[in-house]
Amino acid sequence: MSFISDIYAYLFYFATLVLLGGLTLKILQYARTPAPLKIPTTPAPTTSVGVALRMTREVVLFESLFRGNKWTWIFSWMFHFGLLLVTLRHLRYFIDPVPVPIQMIQPFGIYGGMAMIVGLAGLWARRFFVDRVRYISSRSDHLILALLVAIGLTGLIMRFVVHTDIIRVKEFFAGLYRFEVVILPADPVLLLHLLLVALLMIIFPYSKLLHAPGLFFSPSRNQVDNPRERRHIAPWAKRLEQE
């Protein structure tokens, strides 16, 4: 069992390094990519405050998706909101003592896991039954959805079918902070769940899931609609003018 604990400890160190390093490189790439044109999607706000409010509505309410397709919006919002609840619930494994708000959200995290599965099922079904979506769907799209569903299902199985020792799980992750390997429970479902989570962390910076931070760098969303009031010049164009 010590051997398995060592393997999982090194796996999560590697997955965390890939996740943080990959996200950092991608965000820097997004930030350095020039936007040579003024292309906010209309109707667009004409002030910076308006842009901030628009981005908030986009991140929290999925405003543009709601206007585009109501069914996709329902399943997408269910998945993302459920994922948020599940993430907050899992913070108890990494924080000691656990803050009161995190303690209060624990029961709702279970319903969040269920909402995740329902939302993912709806999003996955449209890739089979909607012609135009099926046409543009690749194998990686199906594999990512399968991975997310598997993570959600194994988590719910540990909650309702095969229970695990969550105290020892928390001790294992707390030990990683101190670079100590604590014995991890040898439950097959737990090991599969953690393996899938580590795999998700590794592929996240190099998959379509990167739309999460990428949204904030989208020129069609983060630009102010003021081309008449202020001339938009890309940074590389400014350097050419100075030369």
Of 163, 160, 184, 161, residue with least CA distance to 172: 184
Reported as a single tens digit per residue, the pLDDT across 9-57 is: 999 999 999 999 999 999 999 988 877 778 888 888 888 899 999 999 9
Domain of 208? 2-242
Own/partner pairs, 50-59, CB within 8 angstroms, 24+ separation: 50/224, 51/221, 51/222, 51/223, 51/224, 54/221, 55/215, 55/216, 55/221, 55/222, 58/215, 58/221, 59/215
Q: State the total domains in the chain.
A: 1
Reported as a single tens digit per residue, the pLDDT across 108-124 is: 889 999 999 999 999 99
Q: What's 117's domain CATH number? A: 1.20.950.20
C-beta of residue 5 within 8 angstroms of C-beta of residue 169: no
Express the helix, strand and coil content of the chain in percent, nearest 5 each.
Answer: 75, 0, 25
